[in-house]
Chains A and B, each alone.
Chain A
Amino acid sequence: MTKIDTSRPETVLPTPSHTVGPFYGHALPFPGGGDIAPVGHPDTIALQGYVLDGAGAPLPDAFVELWGPDPDGNIPQVDGSMRRDPASGGFLGRNGVEFTGWGRVQTDANGHWTARTLRPGARGRNAPYLSACVFARGLLVHLYTRIYLPGDEAALAADPLLSQVEQARRGTLIAEDRGDGTYRFDIRLQGEGETVFLEFR
Chain B
Amino acid sequence: MTLTQADIDLEIAAQHAAYEKRIADGAPVEHQPRRDYAPYRSSLLRHPKQPPVSIDVSKDPEVVELSSPAFGERDITEIDNDLTRQHHGEPIGERITVSGRLLDRDGRPIRGQLVEIWQANSAGRYAHQREQHDAPLDPNFTGVGRTLTGDDGQYHFTTIQPGPYPWRQHLNAWRPAHIHFSLFGTAFTQRLVTQMYFPSDPLFPYDPIIQSVTDDAARQRLVATYDHNLSVPEFSMGYVWDIVLDGPHATWIEEGR
Contacts and interface: CB of A to CB of B under 8 A. Distances in A.
Given A26-B118, A79-B70, A143-B48, A14 B63 contact: no
B52 to A, nearest CB: 4
A123 B50 CA distance: 28
A165 to B, nearest CB: 6
Contacts of A3: 100, 225, 227, 240, 242
Interface string A1-34: 1111010010011111111111111111000000
Query: Chain A's interface: helix, strand, loop or mixed, by majority?
Result: loop
A115 to B, nearest CB: 14
A117 interface: no
Interface stretch (A39-47, A128-136, A149-157, A175-183): A128-136
Interface in B7-58: 31-35, 37, 40, 42-50, 52-57
Contacts of A196: 50, 53
B186 to A, nearest CB: 11
A112 to B, nearest CB: 17
B138 interface: no
B191 interface: yes
Interface in A56-96: 57, 59, 65, 67-69, 75-86, 89
A196 B53 CA distance: 7
User: What size tier do the contact residues of chain A reach?
Assistant: 35 or more
A17 B33 contact: yes
Contacts of A194: 48-50
Interface in B151-185: 180, 182
Interface string B126-165: 1111110000000000111000000000000000000000
A100 interface: yes
Contacts of A15: 192, 194, 221-222, 243-246
A123 B106 contact: no
A80 B75 contact: yes
B192 A17 contact: yes
B75 A59 contact: no
Given A15-B194, A84-B75, A26 B144 contact: yes
B60 A125 contact: yes
Contacts of B244: 4, 12-15
B236 interface: no
Contact of B62 (A12, A123, A133): A123
User: What size tier do the contact residues of chain B reach?
Assistant: 35 or more
A79 B56 CA distance: 28
B205 interface: no
Nearest to B71: A79
B5 interface: no
A102 B201 CA distance: 37
B218 interface: yes
B53 to A, nearest CB: 6
B111 interface: no
Nearest to B215: A16
Contacts of A19: 40, 42, 193, 209
A11 to B, nearest CB: 9
B130 A83 contact: no
Contact of B69 (A17, A102, A165, A198): A102
Interface of B: 31-35, 37, 40, 42-50, 52-57, 60-65, 67-80, 86, 100-101, 103, 105-108, 116-118, 120, 126-131, 142-144, 180, 182, 188-189, 191-195, 209-210, 212-213, 217-225, 227, 240-248
Minimum-distance CB pairs A-B, first 8 = A124-B62, A79-B72, A138-B42, A27-B118, A102-B69, A6-B107, A14-B246, A138-B46
30 contacts: A1-B220, A2-B223, A2-B242, A3-B225, A6-B107, A14-B31, A16-B33, A17-B33, A17-B192, A18-B195, A18-B210, A18-B213, A19-B193, A23-B118, A24-B118, A27-B143, A53-B45, A67-B64, A69-B64, A76-B69, A77-B70, A79-B75, A139-B35, A139-B46, A139-B47, A143-B35, A189-B47, A190-B45, A199-B52, A201-B55
